[in-house]
Amino acid sequence: MTDLAGKHFVLGLSGGIACYKAAELCRALIKQGATVQVVMTQAAGQFITPVTMQALSNRPVFGSHDVSGFDAREANGMPHINLSREADAIIVAPCSADFMAKLLHGRADDLLSLMCLARPIGQVPLLLAPAMNREMWAHPATQRNMAQLTADGATILGVGSGFQACGETGDGRMLEPPELLEDIVAFFQPKVLAGRRVLVTAGPTWESIDPVRGITNLSSGKMGFAIARAAREAGAEVTLVAGPVHLPTPRGVRRIDVQSARDMLAATLPCAEQSDVFVATAAVADWRPASTAGEKIKKDGSGHMPQLQFTENPDILATVAQSPRGASGALFCVGFAAESHDLEAHARAKRVRKGVPLLVGNIGPATFGADDNALLLVDAQGTRELARATKLELARKLIAEISTRTGAGA
Ligand code: C5P
């Protein structure tokens, strides 16, 4: 998938050790289909060479050799005008504390700051990826500058936390290139769920038999994680209740890890009270052992497995859908059905049984663990197919559907 196909960026580098991450960001943007024009400050040239950035972007770098902003390579000598007008966004990564202060005052004594000032504010977004020592980050001047830059129309992409090149540990590291990429991709998605609160369950559950064994299933959680990501991209505030899976948390999503179906229910119910949309993608175990042995159950030499008693698990989706908030429609509930055959008939029946306005069917064995899927949307009016695509593409389509059905995008 090329999420940034057709997009053109100015990638600006100001001086900071995080310049080494800008090389990877440049590659990542290009891999997603974008074209990139690199512009460097003179200070950035202390940390990474224009040769590296030229090779990665496949374009000569501007700014580094002529800090005044004039450049004979442009016929009119005005790269600050030409380059800023053809960009879909200017991304400054790393954005140093000093460069922020400069932007704040509208100073323009090098090509990059000149270009930021000269950009048509309404058409060319300015995305800043700060990078600095934790004390510089926490300083009231930096915090004040960021608030003002945001008010002036810039988007601050946030910072990471952890070990810093200076040897100190704290906030202020530049985000990693994959994190920046995720935020940049999200920036361009339509904000069809802006301000909405979305709750997603994902992954399998784990029902313990004894301290070392349990019952689970093949759900990878990928579809639910993609939906959480797509909801966040659409501007929602997202909580993801995840069973045991090995997936990174989508950027900007609050994640609650759980094990059993009962844990999942306990985590979900209070969040559902605060949410506008609930998407239940979790493959919740229908049954759990009636009791969990405190010690590992040993073979007794009889050749027979010990008899286990099972108890039915709570149905999280049905419980939420039938709660006052779900039943009144204040919380829009979406269920999933993973079937092996007769998808449409089973999905229709399940929608009614669960009491949800929208149920999404998919063929379980064909999609478990995969990065793509095909969906069948079932509502009271009928069905609609979403053809095979990556889970993220399908998740975005589903979010658009939910937005339309809840009137959120209106
Ligand atoms: O009944 P079945 O498991 O096929 O239903 C699937 C749908 O119900 C999914 O949306 C799933 O997340 C949800 N579910 C649930 N709690 C259960 C069983 C299923 O939320 N105990």
User: What mean pLDDT is predicted for residues 382-391?
Assistant: 96
281 touches 336 (CB < 8 A): yes
Architecture of domain 197-297+304-406: 3-Layer(aba) Sandwich (3.40)
Task: Identify any residues that bridge with 386 across adjacent strands, giving them in sequence order.
Answer: 375
- In the reported structure, the alpha carbon of residue 206 is separated from the centroid of ligand 1 by a whole-number distance in angstroms of 14
Of all helices (H) and strands (E), which one includes residue 331? none
pLDDT the model gives residue 71: 74
The whole-angstrom distance between residue 208's C-alpha and the CA centroid of its chain comes to 31
- In the reported structure, the alpha carbon of residue 336 is separated from the centroid of ligand 1 by a whole-number distance in angstroms of 7
- In the reported structure, the alpha carbon of residue 332 is separated from the centroid of ligand 1 by a whole-number distance in angstroms of 16
* Active-site residue (options: 95, 166, 271, 333): 166
The answer, yes or no, to whether residue 173 has pLDDT greater than 70, is yes
pLDDT band at 30 (very low <50, low <70, confident <90, very high): very high
Task: Identify any residues that bridge with 95 across adjacent strands, giving them in sequence order.
Answer: 130
pTM for this predicted structure? 0.94
Residue with the bigger pLDDT between 79 and 342: it is: 342
Domain with CATH 3.40.50.10300 in the chain: 197-297+304-406
The answer, yes or no, to whether residue 54 has pLDDT greater than 90, is yes
pLDDT the model gives residue 72: 74
Residue 103 region by backbone torsions, left for phi larger than 0, else alpha for psi between -120 and 50, else beta: alpha
- In the reported structure, the alpha carbon of residue 284 is separated from the centroid of ligand 1 by a whole-number distance in angstroms of 6
4 touches 180 (CB < 8 A): no
Task: Output DSSP code: residue 136.
Answer: H
The answer, yes or no, to whether residue 67 has pLDDT greater than 60, is no
Ligand 1: residue of 287, 315, 343, 360 to mutate (most ligand atoms within 8 A of CB) is 315
CA 128 – CA 147 distance, rounded (Å): 12
Q: Kindly report the average pLDDT of the chain as a whole number.
A: 94
Question: Which SS3 state, helix, strand or coil, does residue 255 take?
Answer: strand
pLDDT band at 362 (very low <50, low <70, confident <90, very high): very high
Ligand 1 pocket member 282 (CB < 6 A): yes
The answer, yes or no, to whether residue 405 has pLDDT greater than 60, is yes
CA 317 – CA 279 distance, rounded (Å): 9
The answer, yes or no, to whether residue 167 has pLDDT greater than 80, is yes
Ligand 1 pocket member 23 (CB < 6 A): no
pLDDT band at 11 (very low <50, low <70, confident <90, very high): very high
56 touches 27 (CB < 8 A): yes
Domain with CATH 3.40.50.1950 in the chain: 8-187
User: What mean pLDDT is predicted for residues 363-392?
Assistant: 93
The model's pLDDT over 237-258, given as tens digits with 9 standing for 90+, comes to 999 999 999 999 999 999 999 9
For 19, phi then psi, to 5°, come to -55, -30
Question: Which SS3 state, helix, strand or coil, does residue 52 take?
Answer: helix
CA 108 – CA 93 distance, rounded (Å): 18
Cα–Cα nearest to 283, from 368, 199, 401: 368
The model's pLDDT over 114-145, given as tens digits with 9 standing for 90+, comes to 999 999 999 999 999 999 999 999 999 999 99
Question: Which SS3 state, helix, strand or coil, does residue 388 take?
Answer: strand
Of all helices (H) and strands (E), which one includes residue 295? none
The model's pLDDT over 104-119, given as tens digits with 9 standing for 90+, comes to 999 999 999 999 999 9
The answer, yes or no, to whether residue 272 has pLDDT greater than 60, is yes
pLDDT the model gives residue 119: 96
Ligand 1 pocket member 316 (CB < 6 A): yes
Kindly give the number of the ligand 1 atom that is closest to the alpha carbon of 320: 20
Which protein residue's CA is at the shortest distance from atom 6 of ligand 1? 337
Ligand 1 pocket member 284 (CB < 6 A): yes
- In the reported structure, the alpha carbon of residue 283 is separated from the centroid of ligand 1 by a whole-number distance in angstroms of 6
Percent share of the chain, pLDDT over 70? 98
Residue with the bigger pLDDT between 366 and 51: it is: 51
pLDDT band at 366 (very low <50, low <70, confident <90, very high): confident
Which protein residue's CA is at the shortest distance from atom 2 of ligand 1? 337
Q: What's the CATH number of domain 8-187, 3.40.50.1950, 3.40.50.10490, 1.10.10.10, 3.30.160.110?
A: 3.40.50.1950
CA 295 – CA 386 distance, rounded (Å): 47
The first and second tokens of residue 134, run together, are 């934790």
Cα–Cα distance list, 252 to 32, 168, 183, 234, 322 (Å): 21, 25, 9, 12, 29
Task: Note if 26 is an active site residue.
Answer: no
The answer, yes or no, to whether residue 12 has pLDDT greater than 60, is yes
pLDDT band at 226 (very low <50, low <70, confident <90, very high): very high
Give DSSP secondary structure letters for 346-402. HHHHHHHHHT-SEEEEEEHHHHTT-SEEEEEEE-SS-EEEEEEEEHHHHHHHHHHHH
Ligand 1: residue of 199, 316, 343, 351 to mutate (most ligand atoms within 8 A of CB) is 316
The model's pLDDT over 297-332, given as tens digits with 9 standing for 90+, comes to 998 899 888 889 999 999 999 999 999 999 999 999
The answer, yes or no, to whether residue 410 has pLDDT greater than 60, is no
pLDDT the model gives residue 84: 85
Question: Which SS3 state, helix, strand or coil, does residue 232 take?
Answer: helix
Residue for token digits 């980050």? 137
pLDDT the model gives residue 363: 87
User: What mean pLDDT is predicted for residues 269-284?
Assistant: 98
- In the reported structure, the alpha carbon of residue 266 is separated from the centroid of ligand 1 by a whole-number distance in angstroms of 15
Which protein residue's CA is at the shortest distance from atom 13 of ligand 1? 317
151 touches 196 (CB < 8 A): no
